[in-house]
Structures are given as structure tokens and as C-alpha cells.
């Protein structure tokens, strides 16, 4: 059996040597834990004669109390030392600039912002948002939109085609958002009143063209909608979007296979001094194509053109974004340069609303 006095000096030395609370705890378990050296000694009390117990019992209990107190005292010392150490190490330089939260630092891309603005304006006029796939079939991108086979309009779009499948079918990257007109009319019975923002693709690249760009399509189908409604909608849109009290628009006859009649729309502007202003001046700027939905397109979607009619339009988003926010080169939009997005991007929490102001 261990001698209580020797054990005491050993244990007190171990307690004094413990450099942190974990080490001290290990000493405590080794001494006072269930199988600890002091506990083992205490267990021997039961096997002793009353006389032995009187002499040895007292020294064993003294050992236990001494170790117990030493551990508690050492624990206080270590705890205080830990707190002082932490206080000394935790230095706070209050002169450092405040680091912005991520919601403050991130920026919304101008295209996303402009799509949100467009959506807010048309939502206020009762339009829903529809979407379709970027990878399309020839049927949705051309045929159902009344592009005849071999018609030069198919070539005008400088389409990106995928390699043909085994059955000869060639998928393509949609060249416009118009195929979603077809998908929408196939899914939804009139009345239909949707806008369709999305990515579109054509083989083209210069200061105002990128191979991937964005359009927003509009489609209204019911029994009585006519060009007067279309003109009003487009005018209200332009006023709200460009945040001007008046815009003058000019409708020129044009051709699109999927509308009859077809028109291109210009808005009046002033280009003096390298800056474009809307609602004044003597210049015109083309912003969209539109028309009454062609009866063949209706038929291709299973709608009876004698019962239903409607109009559609398609507008380049990138272009109106460049105009509104004075961004001169479209290619920079998609170069993922953080300096550009820091300069032209929008704050994430400034979501555009008609009530709160679109761009302020
Ligand atoms: N899809 C046409 C284009 O990309 C634009 C367009 C013109 C869309 C007339 C329409 C429309 O919905 O009615 O050139």
C-alpha cells in the first residue's frame, strides 16, 4: 500500500506542475477519480481493524483533503491566468475601418437589376413572368414561329447549332425569347399576359453585341387585344423604365415571320454631347420589334385565330441597360471584372420597386 505522506508530496508536486486546467483535471482523476490513487487508499479503510483505522484513517483522510484543496486552489490560479492571458491577447484596434457585411459588399449585376426593374413595371400592369430553356429545338425557335423552311430569316439569326443527333435533329441555342411564346400558349389557355426575360445567343461580337445577350419578350393573347393596347403598354413601360414624364415613340412597318402586321419601335431622344436623353430632341433610337401575333402561330399552338388575337414584342435588355446607366461597352458586362461590377453594380438590398423608385 502506498504511504500517504509520500503520495501526498507526489500529488501536490503534480498539482503544482499542472500548466492548464486540462492537465490539472488529469491529475484530479488520477488521484480522486474512481480508480484514483487516493480513492484506492480510502477503499482500504474498510478492511482495517478499528485501531488501524484510527491511526491510518486519519492520515488517509488528511491526504484526501490536502489534495482536494490543492487542486481547487491551483484551478483558481489557472483560471485567472487563462483570463488574463486572453485579455492581454485580445487586442481590438478601434481605429480600423468597419468591415462591411457581405450583403453590403456584394453587387447586383446591372442586367439582373434591369430585369428586376422591367419585371416590377410589367407586374404593376398585371403581367406574369414566363421562362423557357436556353437550348431549343428548331421547332420552337423557328418552325412554330412561322419561319418557313429555307426562309432567309432563319439565316439572319446567325444561330449556334449543336452537332446533329443520330436522328438528324439539331438542337440550338435560342436566338430570341420568342420560342417561349409558343411554350406559353401550349401550356396556358388565353387570356395570356406574360413577359419573358432571358438569355439569347447569336454569333456576333462587337461593342454593342455579345454572343450571349438578353431579351425580354411580351405576349398578350385574348379575344380583343389590339395595337392600341400595345402602344399604350410600351409607352407606359418606356416612361417608367427611363424615369421620364413623357416619351415619344415611332412605329415603323417591319417584318417578322411571327407577327402580322409587324413593326419596329423607335423612341425619341437627344444625342447631343455624347449623352442620350429621352423625352426630348430630334433623334430616334430603335428599341424593339412587335406586332399582332400571326394566325399561323396561333394555329401552331392549337389556338383558333378566329376566336383569339393578341400582340407580342421583343426588346434587347442589354441595350436599354447600357442606355439607362451609361455603360458604353457591352462586352465588359460579361468579363467578370470585379472593378466593373463594383462601379456599375447595384446594392443588393436596393431592390427596384415602382413605389420606392426604380434606380434610386
Ligand atoms: N424575336 C425578334 C428578334 O429577336 C424580336 C421580336 C419582334 C419579338 C417582334 C416579338 C415580336 O415578339 O412581335 O429579332
**Rounded Cα gap, residues 104 and 126, in angstroms:** 32
CA distances from 96 to 86, 91, 92, 102, 103 (A): 21, 12, 9, 18, 20
**Rounded Cα gap, residues 55 and 231, in angstroms:** 111
pLDDT at 1: 62
Rounded distance from Cα 315 to ligand 1 centre (Å): 7
**Rounded Cα gap, residues 159 and 334, in angstroms:** 20
**Rounded Cα gap, residues 40 and 32, in angstroms:** 9
Asked if 191 contacts 222 with a C-beta cutoff of 8 angstroms, the reply is yes
CA angle 191, 257, 261 (to 5 degrees): 65
Report the nearest-CA residue for atom 4 of ligand 1: 176
CA angle 69, 72, 76 (to 5 degrees): 140
Asked if 119 contacts 197 with a C-beta cutoff of 8 angstroms, the reply is yes
Beta pairing class for 283-293 and 259-270: antiparallel
Computed on alpha carbons and rounded to an integer, the radius of gyration of the chain in Å comes to 39
Alpha helices (H) along 172-226: 179-187
pLDDT at 91: 87
Question: What is the per-residue pLDDT across 91-145, written as a single tens digit (0 to 9) for each?
Answer: 888 899 988 888 888 999 999 999 999 999 999 999 999 999 999 999 999 999 9
Distant-in-sequence, close-in-space partners of 276: CB < 8 Å, separation ≥ 6: 269, 270, 285, 323
Report the nearest-CA residue for atom 9 of ligand 1: 290
pLDDT at 256: 95
**Rounded Cα gap, residues 143 and 169, in angstroms:** 13
CA distances from 165 to 41, 70, 169, 174, 175 (A): 86, 83, 5, 17, 20
Kindly report the backbone phi and psi dihedral angles of residue 150, in degrees, each rounded to the nearest multiple of 5, phi listed first: 75, 0
Average pLDDT, rounded, for the chain: 91
Mutate to test the pocket of ligand 1, among 229, 251, 256 (most ligand atoms within 8 A of CB): 256
Report the nearest-CA residue for atom 8 of ligand 1: 314
Of 347, 357, 356, the closest CA to residue 113 belongs to 347
Rounded distance from Cα 313 to ligand 1 centre (Å): 6
Report the nearest-CA residue for atom 3 of ligand 1: 176
- The average pLDDT across 164-176 equals 93
When pLDDT is cut at 50, 70 and 90, the band that residue 209 belongs to is confident
What would the grid cell of residue 234 be?
410600351
Domain regions of the chain by residue span: 4-90, 108-344
When pLDDT is cut at 50, 70 and 90, the band that residue 340 belongs to is very high
pLDDT at 270: 82
Question: What is the per-residue pLDDT across 290-307, written as a single tens digit (0 to 9) for each?
Answer: 999 999 999 999 999 999
pLDDT at 280: 76
- Torsional sign, CA 244, 246, 252, 255: positive
CA distances from 332 to 188, 207, 208, 229, 344 (A): 38, 9, 10, 36, 11
Q: Is the pLDDT of residue 360 over 70?
A: no
Of 179, 168, 169, 166, the closest CA to residue 136 belongs to 179
What is the second-level CATH architecture of the domain 108-344?
2-Layer Sandwich (3.30)
Of the listed ranges 196-200, 254-258, 325-329, 333-337, the least confidently predicted one is 325-329
Q: Which residues line ligand 1 (CB under 6 A)?
A: 176, 178, 217, 256, 259, 289-291, 312-314
Q: Is the pLDDT of residue 356 over 80?
A: no
CA distances from 281 to 269, 272, 287, 332 (A): 5, 9, 16, 29
Of 295, 235, 220, 225, the closest CA to residue 259 belongs to 295
Amino acid at each position: 500500500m502506498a504511504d500517504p505522506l509520500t503520495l501526498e508530496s507526489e500529488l501536490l508536486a503534480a498539482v503544482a506542475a499542472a500548466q492548464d486546467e486540462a492537465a490539472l483535471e488529469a491529475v484530479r482523476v488520477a488521484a480522486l477519480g474512481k480508480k484514483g490513487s487516493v480513492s484506492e487508499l480510502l477503499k482500504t479503510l474498510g478492511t482495517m481493524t478499528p485501531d488501524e483505522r484510527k491511526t491510518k484513517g486519519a492520515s488517509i483522510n488528511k491526504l484526501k483533503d490536502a489534495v482536494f484543496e490543492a487542486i481547487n486552489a491551483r484551478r483558481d490560479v489557472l483560471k485567472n491566468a487563462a483570463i488574463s492571458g486572453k485579455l492581454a491577447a485580445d487586442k481590438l484596434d478601434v481605429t480600423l475601418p468597419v468591415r462591411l457585411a457581405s450583403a453590403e459588399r456584394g453587387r447586383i449585376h446591372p442586367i439582373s437589376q434591369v430585369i428586376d426593374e422591367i419585371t416590377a413595371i410589367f407586374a404593376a400592369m398585371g403581367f406574369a413572368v414566363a421562362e423557357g430553356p436556353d437550348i431549343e429545338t428548331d421547332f420552337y425557335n423557328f418552325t412554330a414561329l412561322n419561319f418557313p423552311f429555307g426562309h432567309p430569316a432563319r439565316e439572319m439569326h446567325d444561330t449556334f447549332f449543336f452537332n446533329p443527333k443520330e436522328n438528324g435533329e439539331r438542337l440550338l441555342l435560342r436566338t430570341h425569347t420568342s420560342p417561349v411564346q409558343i411554350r406559353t400558349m401550349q401550356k396556358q389557355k388565353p387570356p395570356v399576359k406574360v413577359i419573358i426575360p432571358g438569355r439569347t445567343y447569336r454569333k456576333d461580337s462587337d461593342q454593342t453585341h455579345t454572343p450571349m445577350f438578353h431579351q425580354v419578350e411580351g405576349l398578350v393573347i385574348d379575344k380583343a387585344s389590339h395595337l392600341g393596347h400595345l402602344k399604350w403598354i410600351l409607352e407606359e413601360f418606356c416612361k417608367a423604365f427611363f424615369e421620364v414624364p413623357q416619351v415619344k415613340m415611332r412605329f415603323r412597318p417591319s417584318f417578322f415571320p411571327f407577327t402580322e402586321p409587324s413593326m419596329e419601335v423607335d423612341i425619341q431622344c437627344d444625342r447631343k454631347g455624347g449623352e442620350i436623353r429621352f423625352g426630348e430632341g430630334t433623334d430616334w433610337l430603335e428599341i424593339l420589334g412587335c406586332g399582332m401575333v400571326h394566325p399561323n402561330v396561333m394555329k401552331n399552338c392549337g389556338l383558333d385565330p378566329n376566336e383569339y388575337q393578341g400582340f407580342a414584342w421583343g426588346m434587347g435588355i442589354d441595350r436599354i441597360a447600357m442606355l439607362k446607366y451609361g455603360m458604353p461597352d457591352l462586352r465588359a458586362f460579361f468579363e467578370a471584372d470585379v472593378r466593373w461590377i463594383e462601379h456599375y453594380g447595384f446594392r443588393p438590398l436596393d431592390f427596384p420597386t415602382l413605389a420606392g423608385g426604380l434606380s434610386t
